[in-house]
Structure 1
Amino acid sequence: MKLGVFAVLFAQKSLEEALDYIAEKGLQAVELGTGGYPGNSHCNPDELLNDAGKLKAFKHAVESRGLIISALSCHGNPLHPQKAFAKEHHDAMYKTVELAQRLEVPVVNTFSGCPGDHENAKYPNWPVAPWPNDFKEILDWQWAEKVIPYWTEAGKFASDRNVKFGLELHGGFSVHTPGTLLRLREAVGEVIGANLDPSHMWWQGIDPVQAVQILGRAGAIHHFHAKDTTIDPVNVNKHGLTDMQSYSMMLDRAWQFRTVGYGHDLKTWADIISALRLVGYDYVVSIEHEDGLMSVDEGFTRAVQNLNQVLIKEPLGEMWWV
Structure 2
Amino acid sequence: MKLGVFMVLLSGRKLEDALDYVASKGLKAVEIGTGGYPGNAHCNPAELLENETALKNFKNAVESRGLIISALSCHGNPLHPQKAIAKEFHDVYVKTVELAEKLEVPVVNTFSGCPGDHEDAKYPNWPVAPWPNDYQEILTWQWDNKVIPYWTEWGKFAADRNVKIGLELHGGFSVHTPGTLLRLREAAGEVIGANLDPSHMWWQGIDPVQAIQILGREGAIHHFHAKDTSIDPINVNKHGLTDMQSYEKMLDRAWQFRSVGYGHDVKEWADMMSALRLVGYDYVVSIEHEDGLMSIEEGFSKAVQNLQQVLIEEPLGEMWWV
Task: State the TM-score, normalizing by the size of structure 1.
Answer: 1.00
Q: Matches of 2:222 and 2:43 in 1, distance apart? A: 21
Q: Tell me the residue number matched to 1:293.
A: 293
Q: What's the CA shift for 1:113?
A: 0.1
Q: Tell me the residue number matched to 2:194.
A: 194
Question: Aligned AA for 1:225?
Answer: H
Which 5+ residue runs of structure 2 have no aligned equivalent?
none
Q: Tell me the residue number matched to 2:134.
A: 134
Q: Matches of 2:205 and 2:141 in 1, distance apart? A: 26
Q: Tell me the residue number matched to 1:45.
A: 45
Q: Tell me the residue number matched to 1:271.
A: 271
Q: Matches of 1:277 and 1:149 in 2, distance apart? A: 33
Q: What's the CA shift for 1:310?
A: 0.2
Q: What's the CA shift for 1:103?
A: 0.1
Partner deviation per Cα, 1:30-54 (whole Å, 9 max, x = no partner): 0000010000000000110000000
Q: Matches of 2:63 and 2:76 in 1, distance apart? A: 28
Partner deviation per Cα, 1:189-224 (whole Å, 9 max, x = no partner): 000000000000000000000000000000000000
Q: Tell me the residue number matched to 1:177.
A: 177
Question: Aligned AA for 1:187?
Answer: A
The equivalences for 1:22-61 within 5 A come to 22-61=22-61
Q: Tell me the residue number matched to 1:204.
A: 204
Q: Tell me the residue number matched to 1:235.
A: 235
Matched positions, count? 322
Question: Aligned AA for 2:182?
Answer: L
Q: Percent identity?
A: 83
SS in structure 1 of the partner of residue 281 of structure 2: coil
Q: What's the CA shift for 1:28?
A: 0.1
Partner deviation per Cα, 1:143-194 (whole Å, 9 max, x = no partner): 0000000000001100110000000000000000000000000001000000
SS in structure 1 of the partner of residue 8 of structure 2: helix
Q: What's the CA shift for 1:93?
A: 0.3
Question: Aligned AA for 2:34?
Answer: T
Q: Does 1:15 align with 2:21?
A: no
Q: Matches of 1:155 and 1:204 in 2, distance apart? A: 26
Q: Tell me the residue number matched to 1:79.
A: 79
Question: Aligned AA for 2:57?
Answer: A
Q: Matches of 2:134 and 2:20 in 1, distance apart? A: 53
Question: Aligned AA for 1:137?
Answer: E
Partner deviation per Cα, 1:86-124 (whole Å, 9 max, x = no partner): 000000001000000000000000000000000000000
Task: State the TM-score, normalizing by the size of structure 2.
Answer: 1.00
SS in structure 2 of the partner of residue 141 of structure 1: helix
Q: What's the CA shift for 1:72?
A: 0.1
Q: Tell me the residue number matched to 1:224.
A: 224
SS in structure 1 of the partner of residue 247 of structure 2: coil
Q: Tell me the residue number matched to 2:311.
A: 311
SS in structure 1 of the partner of residue 229 of structure 2: strand
After superposition, the CA RMSD in angstroms is 0.2
Q: Matches of 2:72 and 2:37 in 1, distance apart? A: 13
In the TM superposition, structure 1's runs of 4+ consecutive aligned residues that sit over 2 Å from their partners are none
Q: Matches of 1:28 and 1:156 in 2, distance apart? A: 30
Q: Matches of 1:155 and 1:67 in 2, distance apart? A: 27
Q: Matches of 1:228 and 1:320 in 2, distance apart? A: 36
Question: Aligned AA for 1:199?
Answer: S
Which 5+ residue runs of structure 1 have no aligned equivalent?
none
Q: Tell me the residue number matched to 1:115.
A: 115
Question: Aligned AA for 2:136?
Answer: K
